[in-house]
Amino acid sequence: MAEAAPHRIAGRRPGDAPHDEKATDGKPLIGVLALQGSVEEHIDVLHKLGAATREIRVKEEVAGVDGLIFPGGESTAMATFHHWLIYAQAIMTEGDGLFPALREAVGNGVPAYGTCAGLILLADDCVGQKAGGQALVGGLDCTVCRNYFGAQVSSFELPLEGFPDAAPAVFIRAPAILKRGPTCEALASVTSAPSRDAAPHVEAFEPAKKKRKGSSSGEREVCVAARQGHILATSFHPELTSDSRWHAMFLDMVRERKKE
């Protein structure tokens, strides 16, 4: 089996000295959860928009960041893999304190932006979890459905509804937001039929009468981007496109909080 690229996987142990991030020169310092997934792509966009970044793999690295990015990738892997692969210990992310530290930061109002798997991690509730359940960070008052749009082969680009002039958004085994709490605001949606696996979950949340009129295939309009105060999340991956407006929105949230 080919070795995974080192930047995709944690390479240090708890207690190692934190990354030497370059002098931030007054730039906001954004922590990017760097266990797996589209880590570099997020870092590139953030640098283009004038932010400094710190890769986060252990709990010590969470302290002192101005914002947090939860990248797309595989939420179940992020919640469990890194200890098995790197430290060869049967300790979960939960057990080493990384997820509790992230939970505390988000709970204390540190702005957070999650894409795809990152949306799943930031959701308070998730249906279609892997067998046995999976750890979430939470904070966003919503229920997401994992793999709403189906398997990897069902990955696609689609224009967003409700978000002006948006470039087509990239969906890769993406979740959808089935239910939102009163302060969780929908920012964009798409119209699509749920995957076969997702359909039973969807029926439970959205009775058949909510199906889009005239649709024979069970198409529905589903929420794919939401914001609740300091938390922003999208089902899709702007970090894989040239549309940096979502990251710009997130950095505005970060700068607002820094002013407080």
Ligand X SMILES: NC(=O)CC[C@H](N)C(=O)O
- In the complex, the residues that contact ligand X under the rule CB under 6 A are 72-75, 116-117, 120, 146-147, 172-173
145 catalytic per annotation:
no
Q: Catalytic residue at 116?
A: yes
> How far apart (Å, rounded) are the C-alpha atoms in residues 8 and 16?
18
Token pair belonging to 99: 């997820």
Name which of 147 and 228 has its Cβ closer to ligand X.
Answer: 147
Least separation, in Å, of the C-beta of 24 and ligand X?
28
The residue (of 59 and 146) whose beta carbon lies closer to ligand X is: 146
196 is in an annotated binding site: no
Task: Retrieve residue 195's tokens.
Answer: 């995957």
The three-state secondary structure class of 254 is helix
Task: Please state the closest distance from residue 91 (CB atom) to ligand X, in A.
Answer: 21
Q: Is 189 annotated as a binding residue?
A: no
Catalytic residue, from 61, 116, 184, 201: name it.
116
Nearer to ligand X, 34 or 172 (CB): 172
Measured between alpha carbons, how far is residue 197 from residues 20, 99, 116, 236 in Å?
44, 28, 17, 19
Q: How far is CA 105 from CA 31, 56, 77, 110, in A?
A: 11, 13, 21, 6
How do strand 123-127 and strand 169-171 relate by DSSP bridges? unpaired
Which CB sits closer to ligand X, 144 or 251?
A: 144
Identify whether 42 is a catalytic site residue.
no
- Token look-up 């058949």 returns 208
The nearest distance, CB 238 to ligand X, in angstroms, is 12
The angle that helices 245-259 and 39-48 make with each other, rounded to 10 degrees, is: 70
Task: Please identify, using beta-carbon distances, which residue of 72 and 194 lies nearer to ligand X.
Answer: 72
Residue 106 backbone phi and psi in degrees, to 5? -65, -40
Beta carbon of residue 128, minimum distance to ligand X (angstroms, whole number)? 8
Start-end of H helices in the chain: 39-48, 75-82, 98-107, 117-122, 199-205, 245-259
Question: Is 172 flagged in the annotation as binding?
Answer: yes
Answer yes or no: is 173 a known binding residue: yes
CA-based nearest residue to 145, from 185, 191, 169, 180: 180
Catalytic residue among 41, 55, 61, 239: 239
DSSP letter at 35 equals S
Min separation Cβ 116 and ligand X, Å? 3
Q: Which residues are annotated as a binding site?
A: 73-75, 146, 172-173
Q: Which residues are annotated as a binding site for L-glutamine?
A: 73-75, 146, 172-173
Catalytic residues: 116, 237, 239
